[in-house]
């Protein structure tokens, strides 16, 4: 199988789902906003939010049906590092008023200056983090 095919198909599906949600509901496919809307004190539009998140969770099972095996997931860090990373991502999502899906996929496509700034910040933080981890500074 071509090594570029799975990422290409995955990216196309992400883009198609974001475009479909925007065209059908007029909503941005930012996962943190969709989930936050379900967990907030006044839940609005719960049906489409729940359906969207259920579709995300069903992804690996659909992959298994199509490929005949579960997707390979390799996590090369300890649980404490994984938990710390998750908390930092959550903090950054709140601080940046959105996540990589909302800003990176939808915001950039709409040429949002705020999203360009957010994605530049995400990328800079990712580059610094990878450098620090690979050089043993953050272990």
Cα–Cα–Cα angle for 39, 41, 42, rounded to 5 degrees: 100
Number of domains composing the chain: 2
Q: What is the pLDDT of residue 3?
A: 82
Domain match, 103 and 134 both? yes
What CA–CA distance (Å, rounded) separates 121 from 85? 16
98: left (phi over 0), alpha (psi -120 to 50) or beta: left
CA nearest 102: which of 50, 31, 40? 31
Domain match, 37 and 92 both? no
Does residue 137 carry a pLDDT above 60?
A: yes
pLDDT-derived band at 1, boundaries 50, 70, 90: low
**pLDDT tens-place string over residues 48-66:** 889 989 988 998 898 899 8
pTM: 0.73
Domain match, 7 and 69 both? yes
- The pair of three-digit structure tokens given for residue 12, joined into one six-digit string: 């196309």
Does residue 127 carry a pLDDT above 90?
A: yes
Q: Note down the domain range covering 131.
A: 74-139
pLDDT-derived band at 37, boundaries 50, 70, 90: confident
Averaged pLDDT, 74-103: 86
- The pair of three-digit structure tokens given for residue 26, joined into one six-digit string: 């007029």
Q: What is the pLDDT of residue 42?
A: 74
Domain match, 85 and 27 both? no
Domain match, 85 and 138 both? yes
Q: Which of 73, 99, 124 is the last residue of a domain?
A: 73
Give the SS3 label for residue 44.
Answer: coil
């Amino acid at each position: 199988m071509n090594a570029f095919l799975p990422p290409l198909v995955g990216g196309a599906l992400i883009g198609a789902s974001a475009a479909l949600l925007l065209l059908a509901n007029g909503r941005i496919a930012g996962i943190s906003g969709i989930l936050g809307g379900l967990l907030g004190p006044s839940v609005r539009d719960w049906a489409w939010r729940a359906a969207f998140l259920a579709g995300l969770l069903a992804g690996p099972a659909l992959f298994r049906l199509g490929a005949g095996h579960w997707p390979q997931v390799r996590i090369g860090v300890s649980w404490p590092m994984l938990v710390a990373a998750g908390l930092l991502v959550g903090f950054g999502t709140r601080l940046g008023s959105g996540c990589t899906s909302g800003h990176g996929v939808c915001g950039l496509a709409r040429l949002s200056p705020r999203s360009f700034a957010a994605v530049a910040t995400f990328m800079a933080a990712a580059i610094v983090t990878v450098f620090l981890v690979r050089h043993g500074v953050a272990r």
